[in-house]
Structure 1
Amino acid sequence: MTFGERLQTLIISEQISRQRLSEHLHISPSTLSCYIRGKRQPEYNMLLRMAAYFDTSTDYLLGRSGLRRSEESKLSENELDLIGLYRQMSSPKQELLMEEALLFLRIGDDLS
């Protein structure tokens, strides 16, 4: 099943109009239509917003998984954005980010 077919299936199963979905996603109805017809592909952040809206995973939307629900879908949009940024980093940058995050947590504990 293509991305557009998956998206159309979700729209039907959730009984939402294309107009309402496009308003929620802050895109034009014609852009949404292009996604459904396979004329355009959404950017990463849009894909994350769609997954969050439908309470599903990006893998499901992209046809990489047959499972509609996932643990990842329980994350907030900010958490999903952070994960996306982390995955785009090289391994050394990921390690540095983890060290900085742990340091930030320790400093935060000292400030309380």
Structure 2
Amino acid sequence: MTFGERLKELRQDKGLTLREMAEHFNRGRTTFSNYENDYRKPDMDLIDELADFFNVSVDYLLCRTDQRQDPNTKIKSAISNDPELVEFWGELEEREDLQLLFKQTRDLSPETIQRVIKIIKIFEEEERERHGG
């Protein structure tokens, strides 16, 4: 699948015409037609806007994955009201050694997800103190 095919599929799933899509993003209909036919590619700002509009990840929109949304969206949402946890999550999110744990955590309730991240934070802080960091 190409970017253009994916964009067209998402637009049609939302029941939008090319004209409606172009108007929503303040672009010409021809511009979106060129995107859907893979004649042109949008800039990164528009790609971000499109991903938000369709509620999909940028990677999905660019055909890097077939998973429509960032798998960690539920975790991010569960901790979004705690700035300290959001900052900590930024440090954790890419750690390979914790990916399996995150995969299991996604299916929990938002309250439980928040508790799990808080517990990980406590363990991480204890480890840093133990190793003089």
TM-score by length of 1: 0.61
User: Rg: which structure is higher?
Assistant: 2
CA deviation after TM superposition for structure 1 residue 47, in Å: 0.3
Q: Look up the equivalent residue of 1:11 and give its one-letter code.
A: R
| Aligned-partner Cα distance in 2 for 1:68–1:44 | 18
Q: Which runs of 5+ in 1 are unaligned?
A: 75-112
Aligned partner of 1:24 in structure 2 is 24
| Aligned-partner Cα distance in 1 for 2:15–2:33 | 16
CA deviation after TM superposition for structure 1 residue 69, in Å: 2.2
Taking every aligned residue pair, what percent have the same amino acid on both sides?
Answer: 33
| Aligned-partner Cα distance in 2 for 1:38–1:6 | 10
Greater relative contact order, per chain length (Cα 8 Å cut-off, separation 6+): 1
| Aligned-partner Cα distance in 2 for 1:20–1:31 | 12
CA deviation after TM superposition for structure 1 residue 34, in Å: 0.3
Per-residue displacement from partner, 1:41-87 (whole Å, max 9, x unpaired)? 01000101111111111100100010112329x7xxxxxxxxxxxxx
CA deviation after TM superposition for structure 1 residue 16, in Å: 1.1
| Aligned-partner Cα distance in 1 for 2:26–2:65 | 26
Q: Look up the equivalent residue of 1:59 and give its one-letter code.
A: D
CA deviation after TM superposition for structure 1 residue 26, in Å: 1.1
| Aligned-partner Cα distance in 2 for 1:13–1:41 | 21
Aligned partner of 2:51 in structure 1 is 51
Aligned partner of 1:84 in structure 2 is none
TM-score by length of 2: 0.52
